Amino acid sequence: MFRSLLARVARARARLNRRPNISPLSLKVLFALFLILSANQTFWARLMEVQGHQPLLVLGGGIVAFATILFCLSVLTLPYMVRPVLIFVLVLGAVASWFLDRMGVVIDRDMLQNAVNTTGNESRHLLTLPFAAHLMVFAVLPSTVVLWVRLHPMAWWRQILHYPVALALALAIFAGGMMTDYKGLSSMLRERREIAASVVPATPIVSAVRFAKLKFITSTIVAVPIGEDAVKGPHITAAGKPTLTLIVVGETARAANWSLGTYDRPTNPELAKRDIVYVDKVKSCGTSTAVSLPCMFAHYGMENHSQTAARSYYNLLDVLQQTGFDVRWYDNNTGSLGTAIRLPETRFGPKDDPTAYASGECTDAVFLPTLDKALREITGDTVIVYHQIGSHGPAYYLRYPPEFRPFPDDCRTADFSACTQEQIINAYDNTIAYTDWFLASLIDRMGAQDRVLTSMLYVSDHGESLGEGGIYLHAAPYFMARDVQTQVPVVLWTAPAYRQAMGLDQTCIATRAAQGEVTHDAVFHTVLGLADVETSLHQPALDLTEGCRDRPYQTATQDGSGAFLRRSRLFGGGAAQAVARGGLSSGTVGAFGHAFGPCAFRGQPDPFHDLCGPCAFGGGA
């Protein structure tokens, strides 16, 4: 009996050893077919949504996508590198399909930049049990097949010959697919780029090549100084006290969920009580921190932004430092991403504030002691930047203390599949409410002292998707991003003593700001105006404070309680709506500049200026 068992084991081993022989080309074709069927759920869904009524075009689109995947595999699989490359691509395809199919996140070049900058804590939140199970089924098991099969032995010259043959086959299949309906497919690929962007793993592979190219190019760039003619203006020179301009860079705050705007839930109860200017639906440079952060501090405008441009020039903070300001960067996020490379940069950890770190990650309360210290100690004109963690997902629940839950039924995990849509929104709204409390706390601390003249500008880097169109989080390619990812809030506050010393009329600012479309381009020029810095780089049309110094402004009206009425709110030139803001001595919500039509940042005439004349905005440009 024992001998019989051994014989059976031997026969089983023999059967296992009889592994199929397959050529490298055949293996690539089989796994390209596996990837188009298993890793492209979103591609097929988008293709069917647009062209489901045309079966021939759907077939042609599928063939073209298959050929694209095969071409990518063929380019990467150099002779004697077939197995490791296929395993790498299988893992890449499984990861990319998980985030694309579950959250609508496209793995493009900007997303790869985000991945490089991601902290360990952020990465940990993405590693869930469902994600691990997905990798096991669609990466690990297929990889064992790659290792199990025998590759047909071939002479070295045949191996080399197979490389161009595989490329030619992929190109031939691609051409055949296009010929099924060339007119329809070419039009679809040109007009509906989100379909092509969802082909996995072709998009991540191409994006990785583009990212590597970008890194190589930018690694040798030496930044050129700008604004070397910048000087402090007469108001700040004669102020008689040190000044503090506080710039708060928000994270993932979308304007759609701010009750200071049009949102119907009370996410901003504290700021609603403060004397602020609120700017609704400002157009962001990008949909990710890696794009928006360097862009908003740049002088050349968002339409000219690229990583190469950002590395090629000094930025707003450098100009301020050259002008004589003490400039500091404090970070509770992924760092300044090179924006503060020539400045002191402080990143927080558990030892900086154990209370703020009680949940395992720092909340933005960690900034408050640094502000108290600065208000006690600074002796010269200072600019401080706070880079928040804000509303960064998917672990929204870690962005606020457990006891701070105005919307209590919130999602308490980073795995959205374990929560209802209402719980996800509640958790996100809690982060906005916590940012509201945080900004109000900064305002109260600065307003409670008179040793330093203080002002604050808050601007979010980009928005967030909360399930609209099946998309979550952010960093969607800009051409396919919804408004919730590209429209952000801005808050401006100035202490009464600061306004008096700088000759600023906040009523003028609010009224001037209530016209036209606003973009991140306004940050550079408004900070220069707010800090009273004179330079040839300054563009008055993009400065919120332009035309609002030392002159009365009568457009805003005041009710009996002393509250000013906001005549309009920015909706890209949208509807007027009166909103009372209690206790405002000089205005409230607005937008970043009357000249922000689509022509203003293309070097064309200012349409609002031409329409209304130079006197319409209190003598402003």
Q: What is the DSSP string of 435-501?
A: HHHHHHHHHHHHHT-SSSEEEEEEEES---EESGGG-EES---GGG--HHHHEEEEEEEE-HHHHHH
pLDDT for the residue 14? 58
Determine which helix (DSSP H) or strand (DSSP E) holds 125, and give its type and residue range: helix 120-126
CB under 8 Å to 200, separation ≥6 — which residues? Answer: 35, 39, 40, 42, 43, 93, 96, 97, 100, 107
Question: Is the C-alpha dihedral spanning 484, 485, 486, 489 positive or negative?
Answer: positive
**Could you tell me what percent of the chain has a pLDDT over 90?**
60
Provide the β-strand partners of residue 329.
345, 385
- Predicted pLDDT of residue 5: 67
Name the token pair of 190. Answer: 């040109």
Question: How far is Cα 110 from Cα 207, in angstroms, rounded to an integer?
Answer: 8
Q: Which of 65-69, 402-406, 501-505, 609-613 is predicted least confidently?
A: 609-613
pLDDT at 566: 32
Distance CA 122, CA 360 (A): 12
Instruction: Place 479 in a pLDDT band, splitting at 50, 70 and 90.
Output: confident
Cα separation values, 571 from 256, 325, 597, Å:
11, 35, 12
Among residues 568, 561, 527, the alpha carbon closest in space to that of 544 is found at 527
pLDDT, mean of residues 509-524? 86
> Global pTM?
0.77
* Cα→Cα distances 211→27, 108, 114, 415, Å: 28, 9, 11, 28
- Cα-only R_g, the chain: 28
pLDDT in tens, 582-591: 333 333 333 3
- Averaged pLDDT score across all residues of the chain: 84
Backbone angles phi, psi at 91, to 5 degrees: -65, -45
Coil, helix or strand at residue 348:
coil
More confident residue, 511 or 242: 242
The closest of 473, 416, 554 to 130, measured between CA atoms, is: 416
What average pLDDT does this structure show over 311-324?
97
Pairwise pLDDT comparison (20 vs 388), residue with the higher score: 388
Mean pLDDT of 480-504: 95
Q: How many Cα atoms are found within 13 Å in the side-chain-facing hemisphere of 66?
A: 23
DSSP 3-state of 14:
helix
SS3 call for 250: strand
pLDDT of residue 7: 67
By the 8 A CB rule, do 35 and 200 touch?
Answer: yes
pLDDT tens digits, 557-608? 333 333 333 323 332 332 222 232 333 333 333 333 333 333 333 333 333 3
Compute the distance between CA of residue 567 and CA of residue 555 in angstroms, rounded to an integer.
9
- Choice between 111 and 441, residue whose per-residue pLDDT is larger: 441
Only one residue has tokens 């203080």, namely 454
Cα dist. 84→27, 79, 91, 96, 212 in Å? Answer: 13, 11, 11, 18, 20
What does residue 581 show for φ and ψ, rounded to 5 degrees? -125, 110
How many residues are present in the chain? 621
Q: What is the predicted pLDDT for the residue at 573?
A: 30
What does the pLDDT look like over 344-355, one tens digit per residue? Answer: 999 987 777 777
Strand pairing class (465-466; 277-283)? unpaired
CA distances from 152 to 65, 80, 136, 620 (A): 27, 12, 27, 77
Q: What is the reported pLDDT for 423?
A: 97
